Structure 1
Amino acid sequence: MTQPTQQTDNQARRLLTDMLDAALAVAQPDRCLRDYLPEPVKGRTLVIGAGKASAAMARALEQHWPGDLEGLVVTRYGYAVPCERIEILEAAHPVPDQAGLDAAKRILDRVKGLTEDDQVIMLISGGGSALLPLPAEGISLEDKQSISQALLKSGATISEMNTVRRHLSAIKGGRLAAACHPAKVVNLLISDVPGDDPANIASGPTVGDATTCSDALAIVDHYDIHLPQRIRSGLESGWFESVDPDDPRLSRVETHLVATPQKSLEAAAEVARKAGVTPMILGDSLEGEARDVGKVMAGIARQVRHYGQPVTPPCVLLSGGETTVTVRGDGNGGRNVEYLLSLATALAGQVDTWALAADTDGVDGAAEIAGAVVSPSTLERAFGLGINPLESLANNDGHGFFQALGDSVVTGPTLTNVNDFRVVLVL
């Protein structure tokens, strides 16, 4: 099978990275936040935030806010940016730590005593759930860490994980918004979740929660997550119930999505059009096991390559969402690289087909790597290095596989988070 020329390979890779850059650029807080800022009020304006993009959101807010401002936000280690009036804290993600617990306590304390004349601007983005690990009464930080790690390895969807998190928290599931009552609350959200449901962005600390303790219990039982008896009893009794969307304390809450996965996919599609390549957006909320999604996407790419359906080459297949990985091996993981490794093995070196997948926050799994690139030569080069792709996939070692090939995508902290970005290029 004839491989593409080096020039063609370089051009394909450049187009893929240009599309990723466009997807990230349109979701940058300094670009997307200003159109959603509320008017100043008679009283205080307090800024509270949590998430991987929250510090960059705070800086953008400071730059465009016309009046007095104060506040406190928490972001992931390494994602802080300098602000003048808003204090920036850092904590661990994806498994919470003591710094996150201390930050959550300070945030709840900061919103005490507000009046009807005050307003709170909430800057919430993906990652905020782990960064606000304030457990409900009777639950320890160690409990939260253990349950979080188990959920991350279980294959549970982000929606399922957040349902559990909301019901074990003293700050999520609308509790932070309720604590701000009677002040006005303006939520400015960067979505990293399939469907853009505000209740699932950072586990919804500032919006009501329609799920119940029974829902959370059903999820942990389905994935066989061990719970200490005191926590199970709290869920069974409804003691850990979250704040209902109709709770009167939430009557002055308004919510705006300032950046979403769909907007980023559309920005990438425009880059493809300008390059003379037809874009097709398959969806912004594709979920499922990463390796299964990889097989499905490979099937679509084969259909395009051989039959010109559902779109004629040259084209790109764009998708977003958040896949899951059920960890069985001891590799260093990453859902985007697991998806790509599965895609590569299913394509089996299909000529004129490349792919890129990356987490838009710059961190795929626990590695400081955003994702990777697949080319027609991926499998051939791997075997040349003595690496068996199927063995790497079975061991959940996507990052190890692509690092060995030099095909990792490293962005560093992107200061935003609009979920996973996936593109397949068929020339």
Structure 2
Amino acid sequence: MNALFRLAPFTSEEASRQWLVHLAETAIAAVHPFSLLPDQLPEKPAGRTVVVGAGKAAAAMASALELAWVERARNNGEAIDLDGVVVTRYKHGADCQHIEVLEASHPMPDALGEQAAKRMLEAVKNLSEYDQVISLISGGGSALMTLPAAGISLKDKQAVNKALLRCGAPIRDINTVRRHLSGIKGGRLAAHAHPARVVTYLISDVPGDDPTLIASGPTLPDNSKPLDAMEILERHAIEVPDNVRQHLMANHDAPQACSPEFARDQSMILARASDALEAARLSAEKSAVDVRVLGDDLEGDARDLGIAQAHMVRKLQGEITRPLLVLSGGETSVTVRGDGRGGRNVEYLLGLFDTLEGAEGVYALAVDTDGIDGSEDNAGAVFGPESWKRAKALQLSARDYLNRNDAYSFFAAINDLVVTGPTRTNVNDFRAILVLPRPV
């Protein structure tokens, strides 16, 4: 570690902010596919190996898998015998020689995502029990791999998806609905691949790390029912077209876990939010910082969480005698009330910022570990006490920006955005608050 961070990380505002940025980089590196997949390769089958996958990390997962697979084959004097197709978000691609990488839209699905889903079903068609399918799944896969169920159009799915995102529904609800409007999610991709054995590697972006929720579980059987999806839509007061309602009311079941064909399948979560937080904790402790982890599965409204944590931090600052780092992960949501720009991480930070009102000795960072907060070009933002002074000098009202969901514009104006570009992994939000003791 750089001596700046090891010996005297908090001697200035800039040093404290950079320490938080460095911490986020450490956390994200710990959950990147290139550090995870090479040691987890499945055995080569008697037949073919076909790779499919979807998500913001899917291309990097495919690249890491392919490199390790090719190296093993060459070392063992074996044929490479690997092909397939994965889909990732635009500009999240990676170089592959044997696995085709497609790109599509996120968070709103598009026609290219629909085409990618069809390509995957075609890729696993007519396989035998001697063949193997490797499924590479990460967050974002639900939107990127979109295949409407029979009788439902892509336009229908886009409308339902948009309504769920705007109302602030948690990811568990969103993905339950997505599964039951899909021709590929909820275990349906695996059902198309059987009798081949399906091995699924996942990078989790969902609170609680339920594998069936990650990208809506295309290769894992689903325990929910279509009527559960209908209840969610009604609870969030979302109007749906008659054909969507009729499809859900018909109660078409997804593939069930009791199906004997699933007995040969395997799944493994390679990385989760807790792994990123643990890497950050270990790094912070090298700087003689106490660490408190609030949890890796925090949900709820982003601004409300920021406000609540601001009150908590004010109380803690009066009790500590050493620097304290407060960490949390999970996936918050944003209820859209205005027409501004921003994602859940900057929305959280603006709620925190507005409530702290420039409190001395408090610095905060929040980023989406995939490098894109919402649909903007930033991963998140970072601020310290000087940020409050800059905002006041520019006569910016944090509350006004918050009320119109315009957190991106606010942090851009005071030069506090964190821009990383796509990281090609995704364990959702990483939040860190550095609290220095009050001077005596």
Match of 2:66 in 1: 62
Secondary structure, aligned partner of 1:224: coil
Cα deviation, residue 345, structure 1: 1.1
Where in structure 2 are there 5+ consecutive unaligned residues?
Answer: 1-8, 74-80
- Contact residue 16 and residue 355 of structure 1 kept, 8 A: yes
State whether structure 2 residue 25 is matched by structure 1 residue 13: no
Q: 1:168-191: per-residue Cα shift (whole Å, max 9, x none)?
A: 000001101111111111111001
- For 1:19 and 1:244, how far apart are their aligned partners in 2? 42
Corresponding residue pairs, total: 419
- For 2:260 and 2:36, how far apart are their aligned partners in 1? 30
Secondary structure, aligned partner of 1:267: helix
Residue range with higher mean Cα deviation, 295-304 or 412-421: 295-304
Match of 2:304 in 1: 292
Match of 2:258 in 1: 246
Match of 1:82 in 2: 95
State whether structure 2 residue 350 is matched by structure 1 residue 341: yes
State whether structure 2 residue 400 is matched by structure 1 residue 358: no
Match of 1:281 in 2: 293
- For 2:432 and 2:142, how far apart are their aligned partners in 1? 27
Match of 1:316 in 2: 325
- For 1:8 and 1:379, how far apart are their aligned partners in 2? 16
- Contact residue 156 and residue 244 of structure 2 kept, 8 A: no
Cα deviation, residue 378, structure 1: 2.5
State whether structure 2 residue 172 is matched by structure 1 residue 168: no
- For 1:175 and 1:6, how far apart are their aligned partners in 2? 52
Cα deviation, residue 244, structure 1: 2.2
Q: 2:271 aligns with which of 259, 274, 279?
A: 259
Secondary structure, aligned partner of 2:366: strand
Equivalence map 1:58-137=2 (5 Å): 58-65=62-69, 66-67=72-73, 68-137=81-150
Match of 2:28 in 1: 24
Distance 1:63 1:6, change over 3 A: closer
- Contact residue 17 and residue 383 of structure 2 kept, 8 A: no
Cα deviation, residue 214, structure 1: 1.3
- For 2:324 and 2:403, how far apart are their aligned partners in 1? 31
State whether structure 2 residue 168 is matched by structure 1 residue 155: yes
Match of 2:408 in 1: 399
Q: 1:60-80: per-residue Cα shift (whole Å, max 9, x none)?
A: 111111232111111111011
State whether structure 2 residue 381 is matched by structure 1 residue 372: yes
Where in structure 1 are there 5+ consecutive unaligned residues?
Answer: none
Q: 1:328 aligns with which of 337, 340, 359?
A: 337
State whether structure 2 residue 45 is matched by structure 1 residue 41: yes
Cα deviation, residue 40, structure 1: 0.6
- Contact residue 36 and residue 256 of structure 1 kept, 8 A: no
Cα deviation, residue 248, structure 1: 2.6
Match of 2:314 in 1: 302
Cα deviation, residue 233, structure 1: 1.3
Match of 1:208 in 2: 221
- For 2:228 and 2:322, how far apart are their aligned partners in 1? 45
Match of 2:427 in 1: 418
Match of 1:145 in 2: 158
Secondary structure, aligned partner of 2:43: coil
State whether structure 2 residue 392 is matched by structure 1 residue 383: yes
- Contact residue 379 and residue 389 of structure 1 kept, 8 A: no
State whether structure 2 residue 280 is matched by structure 1 residue 268: yes
Secondary structure, aligned partner of 2:142: helix
Q: 1:22-56: per-residue Cα shift (whole Å, max 9, x none)?
A: 11101111101122211111111111111111111
Cα deviation, residue 152, structure 1: 0.7
Match of 2:249 in 1: 236
- For 1:293 and 1:37, how far apart are their aligned partners in 2? 39
Cα deviation, residue 210, structure 1: 1.0
Secondary structure, aligned partner of 2:342: coil
- For 2:174 and 2:242, how far apart are their aligned partners in 1? 19
RMSD of aligned Cα (Å): 1.3
- For 2:261 and 2:247, how far apart are their aligned partners in 1? 23
The letter for the 2-side match of 1:394 is N
- For 2:281 and 2:435, how far apart are their aligned partners in 1? 14
Match of 1:409 in 2: 418
Q: Runs in 1 of length 4+ with deviation above 3 angstroms? A: none
The letter for the 1-side match of 2:325 is V
Cα deviation, residue 15, structure 1: 1.1
- For 2:179 and 2:323, how far apart are their aligned partners in 1? 45
The letter for the 2-side match of 1:274 is K
Q: 1:264-323: per-residue Cα shift (whole Å, max 9, x none)?
A: 100011111111111111100000000111112112211210123xxx530100100000
Match of 1:192 in 2: 205
TM-score, normalized by length of structure 2? 0.93
- Contact residue 148 and residue 181 of structure 2 kept, 8 A: yes
